[in-house]
Amino acid sequence: MRASRFLAGIVALTTALALSACGESSDEAAAPAASSATESFPVTITHAFGTTTIAKKPERVATVNWANHEVPLALGVVPVGYAKANFGDTDGDGLLPWDAAKLKELGAKTPVLFDETDGIDFEGVANTKPDVILAAYSGLTQQDYDTLSKIAPVVAYPKTAWSTSWRDSIKIESKALGLAGEGDKLIATIEKQMKDEAARYPKLAGKSVMFLTHIDPTDLSKVSFYTTHDTRAQFFTDLGMKHPASIEKASAATSEFSLTQSAEQVQNLSDVDIIVTYGDEKGTTLATLQKDPLLSKIPAIARGSFVALPGSTPVATAANPTPLAVSFVLKDYVDLLGKAADKL
């Protein structure tokens, strides 16, 4: 992994970067937009690895792991570098469609894209000379955090890896940027969009929904699902729906974002009104489950109150809600949920 490769030399690299001038580079177009309201600095943020103090308003912002770049982008700040999209990038340019649209809106060039195929690209992050590294929604390990902290102050997740809600991501990272007021306005805007879209389908209100993880049609002996700790499941409550009691009970006993149970325990899922999962491009996922002798007994599957999000399409990618993605696919996602509710 890259952590071991660069850990020994990162201190020397960081010292050299601190002594060097910040000249033009491939991220020359990446610059923060002016803000009408900023917080005073220094700012201190508490997270899972301790506390991080940011001495002054960051000018060069880098992010690692999934979607953290969306907060600064949504607030008009173009990062100097962020992780290359490894899911949902249909044209191979490393950008998700909502990122590309926002960069175009801001008149900005594509920043440096870090390849995280084999883990965080510490060298790539260091080369962008960031003032702060945002990772409020991430899977950072202690070693990752320690290594990145030798480059710049790091804003990690508050408690548990990969469990930070889109609201908390905005609150935490906007504070780090000195844009907490703008962050609150962004949250309010997204919440209104969600409320307005959900209102188009009154039947969705109060319905219980669960999200199955990727289904393996060659092995239906077990069922895996996202717990209430996962942002995909939390999205349902944003839209006025609820978690099934069975999923809440299972989630209360763990801090994991997903769990697996035997298909022989499908009776536990009789309280689920709607099921969402990732499906195949041909739309055969529901038919496959309805043919299975055990899974076909789940009421939501039997009646077809089921949403199969195809492949790595935008709506499938954004089922894990992030600040820019929500607005981009919200109407389509709610339409799919509404059609499933019509079968109740």
Mean pLDDT, the chain, as a whole number? 89
Are residue 142 and residue 28 in the same domain, yes or no? yes
Strands (E), 55-157: 61-63, 81-83, 112-114, 132-134, 154-155
| Cα–Cα distance for residue pair 226/228, rounded to 1 Å | 7
The tally of domains found in the chain comes to: 2
Of 194, 212, 242, which one is at a domain's C-terminal end?
Answer: 194
pLDDT (tens digit per residue) in 16-48: 333 333 333 333 333 333 333 457 999 999 999
| Cβ neighbours of residue 104 closer than 8 Å, sequence gap 6 or more | none
Of 194, 227, 252, which one is at a domain's C-terminal end?
Answer: 194
DSSP-based helix, strand, coil % in the chain, nearest 5: 40, 15, 45
| Cβ neighbours of residue 72 closer than 8 Å, sequence gap 6 or more | 32, 61, 63, 78, 79, 134, 173, 177
* C-alpha 156, offset from chain centre: 14
| Cα–Cα distance for residue pair 87/222, rounded to 1 Å | 25
pLDDT of residue 280: 80
Are residue 207 and residue 334 in the same domain, yes or no? yes
Domain boundaries, position 137: 2-194
Are residue 26 and residue 146 in the same domain, yes or no? yes
pLDDT (tens digit per residue) in 51-90: 999 999 999 999 999 999 999 999 999 999 999 998 899 8
* Bridge partners (DSSP) listed for residue 133: 62, 154
At 309, the amino acid letter reads L
CB–CB of 211/276 below 8 Å?
yes
Per DSSP, the residues of 212-227 read B----TT--SEEEEE-
Are residue 241 and residue 284 in the same domain, yes or no? yes
pLDDT of residue 305: 97
CB–CB of 108/26 below 8 Å?
no
pLDDT of residue 38: 53
DSSP 8-state secondary structure symbol assigned to residue 33 = P
Are residue 245 and residue 118 in the same domain, yes or no? no
Are residue 176 and residue 130 in the same domain, yes or no? yes
Report whether pLDDT(13) > 90: no
Are residue 186 and residue 281 in the same domain, yes or no? no
Are residue 159 and residue 221 in the same domain, yes or no? no
Report whether pLDDT(214) > 70: yes
pLDDT (tens digit per residue) in 84-119: 998 899 889 999 999 999 999 999 999 999 999 999
Are residue 236 and residue 158 in the same domain, yes or no? no
Of 171, 194, 217, which one is at a domain's C-terminal end?
Answer: 194
Which CATH number does the domain housing residue 301 bear?
3.40.50.1980
Are residue 6 and residue 68 in the same domain, yes or no? yes
| Cα–Cα distance for residue pair 13/123, rounded to 1 Å | 9
Mean pLDDT, residues 185-208 taken together = 98
Are residue 140 and residue 247 in the same domain, yes or no? no
Are residue 220 and residue 260 in the same domain, yes or no? yes
